[in-house]
Structure 1
Amino acid sequence: MTCPAPLQLPAPERAADWLEERRTTLLAEVERRVADLRVAPTGDPQATLRRWNDIALALSDLSAIGSVYAQVHPDEEVRTLGDRIVQEASKVSTELSLDPALYAVFAELDPDALDPIADRLLARVLRDFRRAGVDRDEATRGRLRELEARQVDLGQQMSRTIRADVRCIRIAPDRLAGLPDDWIAAHPVGDDGLVAVSTDYPDAVPFFTFAEDAAARRELRVEFLNRGWPQNDAVLRELFAVRREVADLLGYDDWPDYASEVMMIGTGDAIPAFVDRIAALALEPGLRDRAVLLERLRQDRPGATAIDAADSAYYAELVRREQYQVDAQDVRRYFDFAKVRSGLLEVTGRLFGLTYVPVDPGQARVWHEDVATYDVLRTPDDGAGSGAGERIGRIHLDLHPREGKYKHAAQFTLAEGVRDRRLPEGVLVCNFPRGLMQHDDVVTLFHEFGHLVHHVLGGRSEWVRFSGVATEWDFVEAPSQLLEEWAWDPMVLASFATDEAGVPIPADLVERMRRAEDFGKGYHARTQMFYAALAYDLHAHDHADLTARVRELQERYSLFPYIADTHFHCNFGHLDGYSSGYYTYAWSQVIAKDLFSAFDPDDLFAPAVAARYRDTILARGGEKDAAELVEDFLGRPSTFDAYAAWLAR
C-alpha cells in the first residue's frame, strides 16, 4: 500500500506562479486522458470507470485550488486568478458532460460486470450526463454551456461583492457601554474622536449582543443587512433567471425540482411542505419566547408593540442573564481561542480515534501566517496515542478575519482523497476573534470542524465521486450539527474551557447555558424557515421586486418584522451555493437529533457507538445513499421524533 504525500503548496509570494503551473499541467492532463478515453475504450467497464476517475480527480484538483485561493489569499490578484481557474474547470466539466460521444462510452458499459460501488458510480455518471443535457440537440447544448458559465460567473460576482463590502459605523466612545473590556480595548478611538465598528463578525456579533445603545445597534444592524446592496440585487435577479432557463431547457417544472432530484427530499414541491411543517411545530414555542423578549423590551421602552432583529439578540442576552443566570460576558472568560482550538482537536481526536500533528509552517507553506496546519493520523489501535498511526489527511485552520477573506464560516476542499493515491486535504475558513470567544462561536467552530473531519475520514474511497462529504446535499449538515452536541457537554467543556486562573467552567453553569440556549429555539426555527422559504421561492418564481418579496416572506415565516430599507438577500451567500435548498439545514437537523439519540448522554465518548458512527457514516463518504447510512448506524430508518421532542421541550 502506498502512502500518498500532501500537496506541496507554494510560499504566499509564489502563489500566482504556482496556480498557473498547476492550471497548465492539470488542463493538459485532462485533455490527454479524455482523448485516450474517446479513441481507445478499454473493453473493461471497471477500467473505463477508472479512466474517468483519473479525469475527475484532475478536474477536482484544479477547481479546489482555485476555489481556496480565491477565498483566502491576501493578494487580490491571486484571488482573481483563483476565480478564473474555477471558471475554467467548470467550463471543461460542462464540455465533457455535454459530449454525446463520451456519454456513449458509459451508456454502452455493462453494469453486471462491475462491483456494487462501481455500479453505483456508473449510475451516477449516467445521471450526471443526463442532468447536464447531453441528450438535447446541439443548439440546446450550446445554450446550456453558456448558462453554466454565466451561473459560475454570477456566483463569483456575488461572493466577491460580499467579501469586499465591509461596512462600519463610527460612534463616540461613550456609546460602547455594555461591551466587553477586551472588545473595547481592541477598538481604539480614531483621530476624529470616534470608534469604528465594522460589519465583520468579531465586531458585529458582540455589538448586537451587548451594546446598550439601541440606536447604535440599529445603525449597525441596518449596515449589516445591506451588505452587497445594490450590486447583488441585479446579480441575483440574473442568477435566478439563468437557473430557471436551465431547468426549462432540461424539462423540469422549475429549478427547485431540478435541484431536488438528487437530494433526499426528492422533489421541489416537497420543500415548501417541509418548511411549513417545521414552521407549524415552531410557532407555539416561538410566540412564547418572543413574548418574553417583548415584555423585557417594554421595561426599557414602555408601550413597545414589537421587537425586531436590531433588538432581539440584545434582549435575548438580557433574558438569559436575568432569568437563567447566564451572563455571556462571564461565560466568555472560559473560552480563550487558543484553548478552544486545542480542546477541539483533543475532543475530536478522542471521539474518532485521530491524532493531529502540527506541521511546521516552513514545511506547510500556506497562504497566510494565521493558518495552522496539522497532519491527521489514525490513532494506533493499542490506544497509546503516540502519533505513530497512519497519516490519513491534512487540515489547514484559517480562523481569523482579514481584508479580502471569505466572510462567513465554511470548510473548503483543497484536495479530494483517493485511496492509495491522494491524501484528503481540507481548509476550515472562519472569522473568530483572537482572544475570548462567545460560546456561540465555539459551537460554530465544532460545527464547521464536523465538515472537515467528514472530509478527511470519508476521503479513502477508490472513486473521487464518493470521496469525503459526497452525500446528498440535504444530509451534508447532519454530521456537523451532531458534533455541536459535544460543545454543550459539561465534562467535555471542562476539559478545555478554563478561565485565566485555569479553573474549568462549572458544570452547573453549562447546564444553565443549555437551558438558556433552549430559550428562543422556536423563533430561531421560524427564522430559518424564512430563509428556507426565501431560497425556494426566489428560485421557483420570478419577482419584479426582490426586496418586496423578501419582506412578504419574512412577515409570513419569521416572528420578527422586516427592518425598513434593508436588503438581506444581497448578502445571503447561500443563495449561490445552496441555491433553492437552504431547507437542508433544518432537514439535516432533524436527522442529527435522531443520530444523537444513539449516543449515551452520560458518556459521549463511548467507544463502540463512536466507532460505529465513524465507520458507518463518516468513513463511507457517498458510497451509499444517506438514508441507508443513517439506517446502518441507527438500525432503523430515521424519524422526526427526536427533533419534535427537542423543539417542544
Structure 2
Amino acid sequence: MPLAQPTAFPAEPDAWPAYLETTIDSALDDARALLARLKDGTARTATEVLDLWNDADVAIATASSAAHLLAEVHPDAALRAAAEERAQAAEDLVTQRGLDHELWQVLAATDPEGLDAAATRVREHVLRDFRRAGVDRSPEDRERLRALAQRCTELGLEFARNIRDDVRTVRVRPEQLAGLPEDFLAEHPADDEGLVTLTTEYPDLLPVRTYATDPGVRLALTREHQRIGWPANEPVLAELLRLRAERAALLGYPDWPTYDAEVKMIGSGTAIADLVERLDALTAAASAHDVDVMLARYREDVPGATAVTPADNLFYEQVVKSEQYGVDAREVREYFRYEAVKPGVLGVMERLFGIALERVDAPTWHEDVEVYDVTDGGRAIGRVYLDMHPRAGKFNHAAQFPLRPGIAGRSLPEGALVCNFPTGLLEHDDVLTFFHELGHLVHEVLGGHQPWAMFSGVATEWDFVEAPSQLLEEWGWDAGVLASFATNAAGEPIPAALVERMRRADAFARGAWTRRQLNFTALSYSLHADPPVDLASFTADVDARFGPYAPVADSHQYAGFGHLDEYGSAYYTYLWSLVIAKDLRTAFTDGLMDPAVGRRYRETVLEPGGSADAAELVERFLGRPSSFAAFEAWLAEGTTA
C-alpha cells in the first residue's frame, strides 16, 4: 500500500466548509462504518478484529486532530465554530464506542493466543479502556455515563473557547511605559487620545510584567490577564468538576484523581497528594528566601510595600538578576532576533536527531504558517507546520497540536507548532518555550511510525509527555548551542560569559518558580479531589498555603487556567516530568550535542511512541530506573546562589 499523500488544505477561503465535510466528516463516517463491521456477526480472528479497530482509531484520530487544531487556529470565526462542532462529534463517537456493550463483547471474545507482543498490548489497553468507560455497568448507568462524558466534552470546549476569545486590554499614558525596551515602545504608539493600548496577549503581557517600572501598569495588566475567562467560565468549571466527580463515583472510584491517575505513571490519586507534600517540604524554605529578596528590593522602590504579587515577581526577578548577577534582560534579548532564532533552533534539532527540515510551498489555514517536510537520510518521515505569531481568534498560549496520525506503512505523522511570539526580539523565556514545544513536535514525528494508532506519536502516559520537552529546554541554556544562532544586530554571537551569568542568575527564584508550579499542581488536584462550592475562596486557600506570591485582588485565575480542561487533575505532570527530564539530562556527559547520545535518546525514548510504558523507556535510555536525585540537586542550586 503506498503512503497517503500529506494533508492538502484548501487554497481558497470559500473551499474550507467543503474541506471540513470531505476530511473530518468523511473520516468520522469511515470510523462509524468500521465499528459497525466489527459487530456484523462475521467470524474473525483476533488479528482481524484488532486491525479493524485500528482502522477505526486512525479515522477517529484523523478527524479529531484536524477539528481540534482548526478550532484553535483558523482565522474565520464561523469556521472555528464549525470545527469545534466536529471536535465535539469526534469525542462523542469515542464515548459511544467505549460504552458499546456489543462492541466490547466482540473485543473481549478475541483469543490472545498467537498475537505478537504489540497486538497483545493493544488488546489489553482496549479492554482496559472499555472497563474504564463503564461498559460493564448496567444499561441505566451506561446511559448516564454517556451523557456525562458528552456534557464534559461540551464544557471543556466551552471553557477553552472562553479563554481563547477573551483578549483584554488596558490603556495607559506613554510615560507609564518607562522601562520597556525601545522596540516595544516603537510598536506601541499612542492613539488619537494620547493613550497606548496594551493587551493580555503574551507579546504585551510578558514585557510589561518584566520591564515596566510603573507598578500600577504591571498590576492593571496582570489583573486583566488573571480575569480572562471570568465570569463566563465560573459556572462552566463548577459544572465540569461536579460531573467529573459523578463519573468517577459511577465507575467505582472515590474521586476523579484516583480514576484519572490509574493509567498514568504516577499510578494513583494518593500518589499525587504525596508528591505535593514532598515538593512542599523541598520548596518551602527556598521559596520564602527568594520572595524575601524580591520584597526587600521592592521596598527600596516602594517603601512600605508589604508583599510581592504576580504583578511584581517578574520585574523584581530581573532587577535582582541585573543588580546581583550582572544579567540585564534587555541586553540578553538583543541576541534573540526571531528571524535568527527560528532557523537556529530548528537547526539544533536537525543536528541532534539526524533529521532535516525542508521548506514546502503548500496551502495552510493562514498566510503566516510555514510548512516543512521532515526527512531522514533523504527519506520523508513527517510534515510540520509552524504557526508562530499572535492574531485575533487564535489559541493564545504555546502548544503542539497533532494534525494527522502517523501509521507505519500507511501515512506519515503531521503536527503543528502553535505559538505567540513577537516578530522582532524575543525574551530568553521565549527561546526556552520554542525548544519546549518543538520537543513535543519532534516527539510527534519521530514517534509517529508505529503500526497501531493508539501508540503512535506522543502516545505515552500523559504524565510523561512533558519530560522530552522539558529536557530540550536544557539546550536553551548551553553557551555553544546558543552561540550557533543567538547574534545581535552586528552579527556578534552571544558571549559565553553572558550565558554563564544567565545560568547563575537562573538559580535565583528557582524555589519560588517551583513553588508557583506546586500551587497550580495542588489547585488542579484538590479542585478535583473534592470539588468546592466556592471556587474563588477555595483558590484563595490554596494560594494562602503555597503562594509563593500574594494574590492579586479581584482576580479569578482559575477561570483562565486552561489546563483544568485538558489536564484535569493532572497538572502535576509538569513537575513530575521535570524530575524525569533532569534525570535524562545526566546521560549527556560529553555535551548536549553529542550525536551518539542524541541518537540513542531518539531510538529508546522518542521513536517507540507509546509502544512501551514510559518507565521502561526511561530505564532503557538511562540503564537504570529514574530517580529524584538530579531534580533535588537542581533545586538545591537555587538555595546556594
* TM-score (ref. length: structure 1): 0.97
Distance 1:62 1:607 in 2: 37
Q: 1:594 aligns with which of 579, 583, 586?
A: 583
Partner of 1:475: 464
CA displacement at 1:23 relative to structure 2: 3.2
2:320 is aligned with 1:331 = no
2:578 is aligned with 1:580 = no
CA deviation profile, 1:539-586 (whole Å, cap 9, x unmatched): 111312101010100110122112211101000000000000000100
2:187 is aligned with 1:162 = no
Distance 2:185 2:27 in 1: 49
Distance 1:434 1:371 in 2: 13
CA displacement at 1:144 relative to structure 2: 1.1
SS in 2 for 1:103: helix
SS in 1 for 2:403: strand
| Letter aligned with residue 631 of structure 1 | E
Which ranges in structure 2 are unaligned for 5 or more consecutive residues? none
Partner of 2:173: 172
2:9 is aligned with 1:9 = yes
Maintained 8 Å contact 2:25/2:86:
no
| Letter aligned with residue 5 of structure 2 | A
Q: 2:369 aligns with which of 371, 379, 385?
A: 371
Partner of 2:608: 620
CA displacement at 1:250 relative to structure 2: 0.6
| Letter aligned with residue 641 of structure 1 | A
In structure 2, do the counterparts of structure 1 residues 87 and 167 end up closer, same or farther at CA, with 3 Å as the change threshold? same
| Letter aligned with residue 438 of structure 1 | E
Maintained 8 Å contact 1:4/1:420:
no
In structure 2, do the counterparts of structure 1 residues 252 and 192 end up closer, same or farther at CA, with 3 Å as the change threshold? same
Distance 2:618 2:19 in 1: 41
Distance 2:32 2:529 in 1: 37
Which residues in structure 2 correspond to 1:175-574 (within 5 Å)? Answer: 175-360=176-361, 364-378=362-376, 380=377, 389-574=378-563
CA deviation profile, 1:58-80 (whole Å, cap 9, x unmatched): 01111111101100000000100
SS in 2 for 1:112: coil
CA displacement at 1:221 relative to structure 2: 1.0
Partner of 1:607: 595
SS in 1 for 2:420: coil
CA deviation profile, 1:246-289 (whole Å, cap 9, x unmatched): 10111111000010001111111111110121121112221222
Distance 1:604 1:507 in 2: 15
Distance 2:371 2:25 in 1: 27
CA deviation profile, 1:124-147 (whole Å, cap 9, x unmatched): 000111111100111111111111
SS in 1 for 2:178: coil
Distance 1:248 1:646 in 2: 40
Maintained 8 Å contact 1:41/1:48:
no
CA deviation profile, 1:181-226 (whole Å, cap 9, x unmatched): 1111111111111000110000010000000111111111111111
Distance 1:126 1:585 in 2: 29
Maintained 8 Å contact 2:24/2:66:
no
Maintained 8 Å contact 2:24/2:64:
no
CA deviation profile, 1:446-489 (whole Å, cap 9, x unmatched): 00000000000000000000000000011000000000001110
CA displacement at 1:41 relative to structure 2: 4.2
Maintained 8 Å contact 1:46/1:113:
no
Partner of 2:625: 637
Partner of 2:86: 85
| Letter aligned with residue 365 of structure 2 | W
Partner of 1:104: 105
Maintained 8 Å contact 1:42/1:48:
no
Distance 2:3 2:142 in 1: 42
Which ranges in structure 1 are unaligned for 5 or more consecutive residues? 381-388
CA displacement at 1:607 relative to structure 2: 1.9
| Letter aligned with residue 134 of structure 2 | G
| Letter aligned with residue 620 of structure 2 | D
Which residues in structure 2 correspond to 1:65-144 (within 5 Å)? Answer: 65-144=66-145
Distance 2:261 2:271 in 1: 9
Maintained 8 Å contact 2:369/2:387:
yes
CA displacement at 1:47 relative to structure 2: 2.1
CA deviation profile, 1:152-194 (whole Å, cap 9, x unmatched): 1111111111111111110111111100111111111111110
Distance 1:281 1:112 in 2: 49
CA deviation profile, 1:605-644 (whole Å, cap 9, x unmatched): 2122111110001000000000000001000000110000
Maintained 8 Å contact 1:475/1:588:
yes
| Letter aligned with residue 85 of structure 1 | R
SS in 1 for 2:607: helix
Please report the RMSD computed on the Cα atoms of aligned residues, expressed in angstroms.
1.1
Maintained 8 Å contact 1:286/1:520:
yes
Distance 1:105 1:146 in 2: 24
CA deviation profile, 1:385-420 (whole Å, cap 9, x unmatched): xxxx11000000001000000011110010010001
Maintained 8 Å contact 2:25/2:63:
no
| Letter aligned with residue 372 of structure 2 | Y
Query: Which segment is superposed worse, 390-399 or 24-33?
Result: 24-33
Distance 1:95 1:479 in 2: 33
CA displacement at 1:35 relative to structure 2: 2.0
Maintained 8 Å contact 1:279/1:525:
no
Partner of 1:35: 36
Distance 2:531 2:594 in 1: 51
| Letter aligned with residue 540 of structure 1 | A
CA deviation profile, 1:81-136 (whole Å, cap 9, x unmatched): 11100111111111111111111111111222210011011000001111111001
| Letter aligned with residue 220 of structure 2 | E
Distance 1:574 1:427 in 2: 19
Distance 2:535 2:28 in 1: 39
| Letter aligned with residue 198 of structure 1 | T
CA displacement at 1:40 relative to structure 2: 4.5
SS in 2 for 1:356: strand
Distance 2:506 2:548 in 1: 18
SS in 2 for 1:197: strand
Partner of 2:22: 21
In structure 2, do the counterparts of structure 1 residues 24 and 285 end up closer, same or farther at CA, with 3 Å as the change threshold? closer
| Letter aligned with residue 605 of structure 1 | M
Report percent identity of matched pairs: 51
Maintained 8 Å contact 1:335/1:498:
yes
Distance 2:634 2:36 in 1: 55
Give the number of equivalent residue pairs.
636
Partner of 1:386: none
SS in 1 for 2:9: coil
Distance 1:272 1:10 in 2: 48
Partner of 1:383: none
Distance 2:283 2:2 in 1: 52
Query: Which segment is superposed worse, 273-282 or 575-584?
Result: 273-282
SS in 1 for 2:384: strand
